[in-house]
């Protein structure tokens, strides 16, 4: 049975690891069936041949239809963010899934658990992860359990928590868990291991401990992230900071993760190091070290935001354009959308004339002031103008911007070259809807540390005024005849 014939069930497809695994499965041509509680969450985000079915591991009756005809099932479910008793929910979910998998004739379950030496001092989170593995193994369905440490990748809970701490705190009073030994693994390597689980020839159940190339600590990960971002951070260890105080500190600095803060901190106190390396069947996978894993995470994030499909991120976050800026990773995004009663090529002609003598379609005097201030601190200012008054090319200088992406008549992306505490882009995307066009204007700012955040929010009222005015005047200009059009 080849990959296209075997049905692969993927649970947790809307989560961080699940999305990455889904893309890998689709790229290799596997017949994938995603089981999610709310199928609408994945609509439009999967390949044409991928199935989306409703199912809830806490509702046993919903599992049999989803598991019908499945050869291998990936179990990527956990309840750590649940407001209830997550250990009880994890236990019930695993028991329901194990029973349904056995009844449906599933050949193999591949489960992602957590590293940690089994003992009575194991945190509740890691203890629950191990218990889930035991329940799945006792089902009678062959179970391959991959136990990993912190996953290094933009979007993962632990990595985002560490990133928030480093970005926002120039001086950190660090609790004991910062020195805990760990073996971070890049998300790309984790996916390689999970994908290998489809092809491993093994009898019975197996537990594979997996990790990156380097054994380090959470403090090492913080310092490496800071180094690659060009941030200088002072870390002052305070061994008396209790888990309770540590979780409160975490919730204050990283409010997005306040619900899982205590559960996560409890787990960070346990060493998560590979003690039994994977056997020969997985030896061909050569995981990245700490430096390379962090560099790849940051580079992958840049690539995601350089792609034309990044607005899907806003759709997943249910962001309504024009309702203020949102955070994703270190980036702050302000996006606005309008409809224009002309074709995309007409809108794009207006966009291509931006800057130089044409100006920026709103408050040109403010742009000149910003250019003057940039000159004072050694920047390029507005003196460069533009190469041609009517047309742009990729790489062109445009006042204190540079044309990074030009795809006529759909996309124009400008990268800022003025002095700012971070990196900034201004992007326009034009799509056709019937006889009209939809114009999306997006300002993105990769804030560098606390100063970057302060810069954005202090100037946000000015930015909001300019962005709204630009969009309004671009629509007006596109609605009028242009000489030579």
The two three-digit tokens of residue 446, written as one number: 């990769």
The two three-digit tokens of residue 106, written as one number: 């599933």
pLDDT in tens, 87-133: 899 999 999 999 999 999 999 999 999 998 876 577 788 888 999 99
Among the ranges given (215-219, 304-308, 434-438, 479-483), the one the predictor scored with the smallest mean pLDDT:
479-483
30 backbone φψ class: left, alpha, beta (φ>0; ψ -120 to 50): beta
pLDDT in tens, 40-69: 878 878 899 999 999 999 999 999 999 999
Contact 412, 396 (CB under 8 A): no
C-alpha span between 184 and 177 (Å, rounded): 15
When comparing pLDDT for 3 and 238, which is higher? 238
Asked if pLDDT for residue 447 goes beyond 60, the answer is yes
Asked if pLDDT for residue 485 goes beyond 50, the answer is no
Contact 226, 232 (CB under 8 A): yes
Widest CA span in the chain: 79
Domain ranges of the chain: 7-303, 307-478
Q: How crowded is residue 383: how many other Cβ atoms within 10 Å of its Cβ?
A: 10
Reported as type and span, the H/E element at residue 206 is strand 206-209
Cα-based angle 253, 289, 208 (whole degrees, multiple of 5): 95
> Among residues 316, 238, 268, which one has the least CA distance to residue 19?
316
State the burial class of residue 461 (Cβ atoms within 10 Å of its Cβ: 0-12, 13-18, 19+). Answer: exposed
Judge: domain 7-303, CATH 3.40.50.300. Answer: no
Reported as a pLDDT band with limits 50, 70 and 90, residue 484 is very low
Contact 378, 398 (CB under 8 A): no
When comparing pLDDT for 314 and 275, which is higher? 275
Fold of 307-478: Alpha-D-Glucose-1,6-Bisphosphate; Chain A, domain 4 (3.30.530)
In which residue are the tokens 């089994």 written?
118
Mean model confidence pLDDT for the chain: 87
pLDDT in tens, 349-393: 999 999 999 999 999 999 999 999 999 999 998 877 899 999 999
Which residues have CB under 8 Å from 25's CB, separation 6+?
8, 10, 32, 195
Q: What is the pLDDT of residue 469?
A: 95
């Amino acid at each position: 049975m080849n990959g296209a014939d075997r049905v692969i069930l993927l649970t947790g497809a809307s989560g961080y690891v699940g999305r990455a695994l889904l893309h890998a499965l689709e790229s290799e041509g596997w017949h994938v069936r995603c089981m999610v509680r709310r199928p609408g969450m994945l609509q439009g985000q999967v390949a044409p041949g991928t199935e989306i079915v409703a199912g809830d591991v806490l509702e046993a009756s919903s599992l049999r239809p989803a598991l019908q005809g499945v050869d291998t099932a990936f179990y990527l479910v956990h309840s750590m963010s649940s407001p209830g008793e997550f250990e009880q929910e994890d236990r019930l979910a695993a028991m329901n899934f194990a029973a349904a998998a056995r009844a449906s004739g599933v050949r193999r379950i591949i489960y992602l658990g957590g590293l940690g030496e089994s003992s009575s001092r194991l945190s509740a989170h890691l203890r629950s992860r191990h218990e889930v593995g035991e329940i799945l193994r006792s089902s009678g369905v062959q179970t391959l359990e991959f136990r990993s440490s912190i996953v290094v990748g933009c979007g993962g809970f632990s990595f985002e928590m560490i990133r928030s701490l480093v970005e926002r705190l120039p001086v950190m009073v660090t609790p004991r868990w910062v020195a805990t030994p760990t073996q971070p693994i890049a998300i790309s390597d984790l996916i390689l291991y999970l994908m290998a689980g489809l092809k491993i020839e093994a009898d019975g159940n197996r537990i594979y401990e997996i990790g990156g190339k380097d054994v380090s600590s959470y403090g090492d990960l913080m310092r490496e992230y800071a180094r690659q971002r060009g941030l200088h951070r002072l870390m002052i260890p305070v061994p008396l900071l209790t888990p309770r105080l540590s979780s409160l500190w975490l919730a204050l600095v990283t409010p997005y993760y306040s619900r899982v803060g205590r559960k996560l901190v409890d787990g960070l106190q346990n060493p998560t190091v590979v003690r039994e390396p994977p056997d020969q069947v997985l030896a061909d996978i050569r995981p990245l070290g700490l430096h390379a894993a962090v560099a790849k995470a940051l580079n992958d994030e840049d690539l995601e935001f350089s792609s034309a499909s990044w607005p899907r991120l806003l759709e997943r976050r249910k962001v309504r354009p024009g309702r203020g800026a949102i955070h994703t990773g270190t980036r702050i995004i302000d996006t606005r959308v309008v409809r224009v009663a002309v074709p995309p090529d007409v809108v794009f002609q207006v966009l291509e004339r931006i800057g130089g003598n044409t100006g920026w379609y709103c408050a040109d005097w403010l742009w000149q002031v910003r250019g003057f201030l940039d000159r004072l601190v050694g920047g390029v200012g507005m003196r460069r103008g533009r190469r041609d008054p009517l047309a742009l090319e990729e790489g062109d200088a445009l006042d204190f911007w540079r044309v990074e992406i030009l795809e006529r008549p759909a996309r124009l992306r400008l990268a800022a070259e003025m002095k700012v505490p971070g990196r900034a882009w201004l992007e326009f995307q034009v799509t056709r809807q019937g006889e009209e066009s939809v114009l999306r204007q997006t300002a993105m700012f990769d804030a560098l540390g606390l100063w970057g955040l302060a810069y954005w929010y202090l100037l946000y009222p000015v930015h909001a005024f300019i962005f709204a005015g630009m969009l309004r005047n671009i629509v007006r200009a596109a609605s009028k005849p242009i000489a030579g059009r």
